[in-house]
């Protein structure tokens, strides 16, 4: 289907299949923009020039979804990059948690129990945040592994059929 034939329902379905919820009004606005400019790429170019962030973000996401559907390796690469980004964000949180924990223990040893409790509460919060980031990274890696397994299986089946 050419991009100019995309309607709001097609756009919402593409976003839903990609696991990205899109408000119906945003889908309609994006469909209207694509119809106005005639293609997804021209819409992106026009919106980039107008600095219209909402529809531009949606148009770029739609282009990425369509590219990833055509080449699943792009989605795998994106998922793995997002996982690496989350791991990079988690590392400083773990370091911060360790620092708060050490400060809390030091304050407890100095007899300042109230301040020690505050530091230890901050340490627990930083640990929860870091663990949540790492959980999300693991989930992304598992999604990428599922896609890779599916690709390998399809390739093996094609080779067996040939």
**Contacts of residue 95, Cβ cutoff 8 Å, sequence gap at least 6:** none
**Contacts of residue 21, Cβ cutoff 8 Å, sequence gap at least 6:** 15
In this structure, the chain runs to a length of 162
61 and 79 share one domain: no
The answer to whether the CB of 31 falls within 8 A of the CB of 55 is no
9 and 79 share one domain: no
Residue 97, CB half-sphere, CA atoms under 13 Å: how many?
A: 14
Q: What angle do CA 97, 102, 105 make, to 5 degrees?
A: 125
Looking at per-residue confidence, does 57 or 138 come out higher?
138
7 and 22 share one domain: yes
- What is the domain range of residue 40? 3-70
Domains contained in the chain, number: 2
84 and 122 share one domain: yes
Instruction: Give 42's pLDDT tier (boundaries 50, 70, 90).
Output: confident
76 and 60 share one domain: no
Looking at per-residue confidence, does 159 or 93 come out higher?
93
Among the candidates 26, 45, 70, a domain finishes at 70
94 and 145 share one domain: yes
pLDDT of residue 1: 46
For the question of whether the overall pTM of this predicted structure is more than 0.75, the answer is no
- Answer whether residue 49 shows pLDDT above 70: no
């Amino acid at each position: 289907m050419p991009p100019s034939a995309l309607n709001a329902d097609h756009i919402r379905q593409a976003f839903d299949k990609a696991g990205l919820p899109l408000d119906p009004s945003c889908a309609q606005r994006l469909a209207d923009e694509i119809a106005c400019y005639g293609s997804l790429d021209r819409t992106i170019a026009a919106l980039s020039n107008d600095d219209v962030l909402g529809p531009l973000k949606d148009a770029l996401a739609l282009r990425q979804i369509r590219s990833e559907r055509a080449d699943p390796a792009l989605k795998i690469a994106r998922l793995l990059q997002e996982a690496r980004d989350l791991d990079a964000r988690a590392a400083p949180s773990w370091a911060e948690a360790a620092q708060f924990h050490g400060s809390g223990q030091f304050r407890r040893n100095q007899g300042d129990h109230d301040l020690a409790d505050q530091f230890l509460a901050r340490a627990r919060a930083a640990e929860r945040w870091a663990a949540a980031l790492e959980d999300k990274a693991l989930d992304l890696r598992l999604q990428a592994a599922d896609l890779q397994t599916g690709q390998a299986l399809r390739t093996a089946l094609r080779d067996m059929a040939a």
